[in-house]
């Protein structure tokens, strides 16, 4: 199942949103429910890619261990904590490095959908531990941060501190409903971007340049129009994913930041 693309995803999101909305309206914590739902969606995402699911499990194990050890080293003031932090950072980067290097040889070593984005998130936590910005990270909060399904494959990029603050904050009913309406609006905007504007840009990218000659000024114009159409398609496709992710995030009480202006 592909996120923000397959009809099954939208059906599951609609079903999963109901308990989250009930919890939010009743002013109850949503984080434990959100963690369980994220796990279910990730399993569904990798349902046809068991090797990807296994690689993701390896990444989770490495990241959790590296983060826990780095927190311990810096909280206790270990003498060689910076050197140990660098080793932990290298271990967290290893799956992404292996993926990129193995791709040169047409293989897939430790690669899975979302590996680049998840690596950015894990590295951000390690860097902020080193800088003294993060002094505590509960294991469940860290797992939820990495597995939060609305942004798992496409972003937008989130900061762990803002995420943890959001999932631990229980909003008053009126404030939650305001965010819910805002999230619904973002989701609709994202769907229009993805399924209407991106589709029109894709049509423009292929059809309009093909009506022109391939040489001379018309050939140059065709290439220019193709590039322009591709730029529009790329923007609306990516922005569509991101805006829908913002909408789902608001349902689960998380303020997913805007990726595009």
Query: Does the pLDDT value for residue 225 go beyond 70?
Result: yes
Residue 245 near residue 154, CB atoms below 8 Å: yes
Report the chain's terminal Cα–Cα distance, integer Å.
29
pLDDT at 261: 66
pTM score, whole prediction: 0.90
Whole-number percent of the chain with pLDDT over 90 = 79
Predicted local confidence at residue 260, as pLDDT: 67
Q: Is the pLDDT of residue 14 over 90?
A: yes
Tell me the mean pLDDT in the region 21-29.
94
Show the tokens assigned to 73: 């080293």
Q: At what angle do helices 50-75 and 139-147 cross, to 10 degrees?
A: 140
pLDDT > 80? residue 144: yes
Q: Name which of 209, 207, 248 is nearest 13 in CA terms.
A: 248
């Amino acid at each position: 199942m592909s996120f923000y693309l397959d009809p099954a995803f939208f059906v599951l999101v609609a079903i999963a949103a109901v308990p989250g909305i009930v919890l939010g309206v009743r002013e109850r914590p949503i984080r434990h429910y959100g963690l369980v739902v994220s796990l279910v969606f990730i399993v569904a995402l990798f349902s046809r890619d068991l090797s990807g699911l296994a690689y993701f499990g390896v990444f989770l194990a490495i990241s959790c261990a590296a983060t826990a050890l780095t927190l311990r080293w810096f909280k206790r003031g270990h003498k060689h904590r910076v050197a140990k932090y660098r080793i932990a950072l290298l271990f967290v980067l290893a799956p992404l490095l292996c993926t990129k290097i193995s791709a040169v040889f047409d293989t897939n070593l430790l690669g899975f959908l979302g590996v680049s984005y998840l690596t950015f998130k894990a590295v951000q936590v390690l860097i902020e531990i080193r800088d003294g910005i993060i002094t505590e990270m509960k294991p469940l909060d860290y797992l939820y941060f990495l597995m939060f399904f609305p942004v798992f494959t496409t972003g937008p990029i989130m900061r762990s501190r803002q995420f943890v603050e959001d999932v631990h904050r229980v909003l008053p009913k009126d404030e939650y409903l305001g965010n819910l309406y805002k999230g619904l609006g973002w989701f609709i905007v994202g769907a229009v971007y993805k399924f209407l504007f991106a589709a029109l840009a894709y049509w423009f990218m292929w059809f309009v340049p093909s009506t022109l000659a391939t040489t001379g000024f018309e050939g140059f114009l065709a290439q220019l129009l193709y590039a322009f159409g591709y730029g529009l398609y790329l923007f609306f496709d990516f922005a569509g994913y991101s805006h829908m992710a913002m909408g789902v995030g608001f349902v689960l009480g998380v303020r997913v930041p805007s990726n595009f202006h």
